[in-house]
Amino acid sequence: MANYFGGANFTVPFIATEDLTSRQYYPVCPASTAAGVHGVASALTGCAPMPFGILVNDPSAGQEAAVVVFGFTKARGRSAGGCWLEWGTMLRCASDAFEPIASVGSEVMCGRWFGGSVTTADASAIGNVFVMFLNTCATLDA
The per-residue pLDDT string of the chain (142 residues; one tens digit each, 9 = 90 and over) reads: 455 556 678 999 999 999 999 999 999 989 988 999 998 876 555 566 778 899 999 999 999 999 999 999 999 998 887 788 999 999 988 878 889 987 766 677 889 999 888 888 887 889 999 998 765 444 444 3
pLDDT of residue 83: 84
User: What distances in angstroms separate CA 70 from CA 9, 129, 140, one per listed residue?
Assistant: 6, 10, 23
pLDDT of residue 4: 57
pLDDT of residue 122: 80
pLDDT of residue 20: 96
pLDDT of residue 141: 41
Beta-carbon contacts of 72 under 8 Å, excluding residues fewer than 6 positions away, are 4, 5, 6, 8, 9, 114, 128, 129, 130, 131
